[in-house]
Amino acid sequence: MSPPQPSKYNVLVFPCASGIAQEVFFALRDKKEFELHGLNRAGANVGRSLFDNYHETEYDIVKTPDKLAAAIRTLVVRHGIDLIFPAFDDAQVYLKSRETELGVPVATSPVLTTQTCRSKRRTYDLLRDVVRVPTVFPADRPTFPAFAKPDCGEGSRGCFVLRTKEDLDSKQAVLASEEYVVTEYLPGDEFTVDCLSDQEGGLLFCAARKRTLARGGISVITETANRDVQELCKTMAANIAGTLQLVGAWFFQVKRDADGHLCLMEVAPRIAGAMALHRFIGVNFAMLTSFIHLQHTVDVVFNAQIENATLYKVYGNTVTAPCLAARTHVYVDLDDTLIKWRDSRPAVNARVVGFLYSAIETGRRVTLITKHAHCPLATLSKVRLCERLFDGIIHVPRDARKVDFMPDAAAAMLVDDSFHERMECAKNNVLAFDVDCVESLSLGHVAP
């Protein structure tokens, strides 16, 4: 008889401010099986805006590795952590090598695999007999054009093209002082191949996406590859998985050489930030990886009908402010705020509605305040909004000021497209925001 499973698994993401951590967060935040915790080095970072269960540490992997491990172990015990999700390349090697000490599974491949994949040179040496890898040149005698990159690096940091002898001479100091790999230059299209393997290393899923636009090594526009590329990449994935011991989510990157052939660039046994493209067809890599490392058998089911999909990674804003905690009453305008008018027909502004539900969830009252020319209830009904969304509805005369109908000014905030109404509120201690602000405001729970 199998032991009872917890109602929720507590998952610790470290470091929780990276792009990888953000994909883990967005993939798991709404899953009933998981409670997320984030841990990051103390200081300014975006992790605190994502994770409700946010933790900081003064220790780091390089300078204080033993103290960091002890701090993580303390978190594991105190919060009943069931799984640690590494969200940076160096964190994978560090955490996996200390898995026994930490006392819970670390959601990445075995430590020998993470160490091998951390080195481009070791990766090429191991895989050159099973997939096409780039030709590696002596650092002082490359064939031009050549491409130089740190042996242990990520993204495009520290990479550069060597086109001439003058380029080589200007970079000799860098190549001599750093552990670099100099390879043939690959001029063609670049693809990332997202993969998932089970506990025994069996390949469960593999799909390629074209890196259409990258910034700082991160795909900001990526689209599903054509079928010919998919088939070639599946063969490469099977060969890589048959050589490296890979468990859970992993990916590899390939690029076309001068003859148009796909050539391996790197293998990484972790989540990729743009794996979200395949999450939208049904393959949630973070969730499946978590279950695999928690010793569950998983099935991969996805919507094969979705083809030619493109992911645009657009970064959003989150704003926090201490004064928001004291604002316990949200007033919201109707015309051009809660609803938009298109060809004389009303349509709901879903972002404003989402903000109102966030206000309710965090313990605030919500009141509709409007100078609408018609019956507000009739218009709400027309756009399928229920009046019960609001704790109250105030229909203000056209020649009156809305602020005069807010007796709780010090506890109030207003969302309204009207500059005049916001200006009057600002004069009377009511926080007032335009419509463009609502999706960025992080309210937090009301002050006790």
Average pLDDT over residues 258-281: 95
Confidence of residue 3 (pLDDT cuts 50, 70, 90): low
Q: Which fold has domain 135-184?
A: Dna Ligase; domain 1 (3.30.1490)
According to DSSP, residue 438 is labeled G
Average pLDDT over residues 245-254: 98
Given this structure, which CATH class describes domain 190-312?
Answer: alpha beta
For 9-61, how does the pLDDT look when each residue is reduced to its tens digit (9 = 90+)?
999 999 999 999 999 999 999 999 999 999 999 999 999 999 999 999 999 99
- The residues pairing with 194 across neighbouring beta strands, listed in sequence order, are 207, 251
Enumerate the domain spans of the chain.
Answer: 9-106, 135-184, 190-312, 322-440
| Assigned token pair, 167 | 């380029």
Please report, as a single letter, which amino acid is at residue 177. Answer: S
**Helices and strands, number each (H, E), in the chain:** 15, 21
Q: What is the spatial distance between Cα 275 and Cα 207, in angstroms, rounded to a whole number?
A: 10
The answer to whether 12 and 105 have CB atoms below 8 angstroms apart is no
Identify the pLDDT of residue 353: 97
Is the pLDDT at 374 greater than 70? The verdict is yes
For 77-98, how does the pLDDT look when each residue is reduced to its tens digit (9 = 90+)?
999 999 999 999 999 999 999 9
**Which residues are CB-contacts of 346 (< 8 A; sequence separation ≥ 6)?**
339, 340, 379, 382, 383
Q: What is the spatial distance between Cα 139 and Cα 182, in angstroms, rounded to a whole number?
A: 6
Whole-number Cα distances in Å, 74 to 55, 57, 121, 226:
12, 11, 37, 48
**Which residues are CB-contacts of 87 (< 8 A; sequence separation ≥ 6)?**
13, 14, 15, 16, 18, 20, 21, 24, 270, 271
Sheet order of strands, 9-14 included: 53-57, 34-41, 9-14, 83-86
Q: What is the spatial distance between Cα 108 and Cα 271, in angstroms, rounded to a whole number?
A: 9
Burial class (CB in 10 A: 0-12, 13-18, 19+), 211: buried
**Which residues are CB-contacts of 238 (< 8 A; sequence separation ≥ 6)?**
203, 206
The candidate with the shortest Cα–Cα distance to 33, out of 329, 323, 207, 288, is 288
308 Rama class: left (phi>0) / alpha (psi -120 to 50) / beta? left
pLDDT above 70 covers a percentage of the chain that reads 98
Q: What is the pTM of this model?
A: 0.90
The candidate with the shortest Cα–Cα distance to 207, out of 218, 221, 220, 223, is 223
Given this structure, which CATH class describes domain 322-440?
Answer: alpha beta
Average pLDDT over residues 323-347: 91
For 216-233, how does the pLDDT look when each residue is reduced to its tens digit (9 = 90+)?
778 899 999 999 999 999
Is the pLDDT at 252 greater than 90? The verdict is yes
Domain 9-106 and domain 322-440 have a common topology: yes
Map tokens 């899923």 to a residue. 205
Sheet order of strands, 365-370 included: 392-395, 365-370, 329-332, 412-415, 431-433
Confidence of residue 320 (pLDDT cuts 50, 70, 90): confident
Identify the pLDDT of residue 6: 67
Is the pLDDT at 100 greater than 50? The verdict is yes
Name the CATH superfamily for 9-106. NAD(P)-binding Rossmann-like Domain (3.40.50.720)
Of the segments 217-226, 300-309, 396-405, which one has the largest average pLDDT value? 396-405
Sign of the C-alpha dihedral, residues 234, 235, 240, 243? positive
Q: What is the spatial distance between Cα 154 and Cα 216, in angstroms, rounded to a whole number?
A: 10
Query: Among 115-124, 259-268, 297-306, which stretch is predicted with the lowest mean pLDDT?
Result: 297-306
Average pLDDT over residues 117-135: 97
Is the pLDDT at 413 greater than 50? The verdict is yes
Please state, rounded to an integer, the average pLDDT across all residues of the chain: 94
Average pLDDT over residues 152-178: 88
Map tokens 């099935």 to a residue. 299
Identify the pLDDT of residue 215: 85
Map tokens 């690959």 to a residue. 186
Identify the pLDDT of residue 86: 98
Whole-number Cα distances in Å, 340 to 31, 333, 349, 414, 436:
32, 11, 6, 17, 13
Confidence of residue 2 (pLDDT cuts 50, 70, 90): low
The answer to whether 271 and 248 have CB atoms below 8 angstroms apart is no
Identify the pLDDT of residue 1: 43
pLDDT above 90 covers a percentage of the chain that reads 85
Identify the pLDDT of residue 378: 95
Identify the pLDDT of residue 307: 82
Check whether the bond before 134 is cis (ω within 30° of 0): no
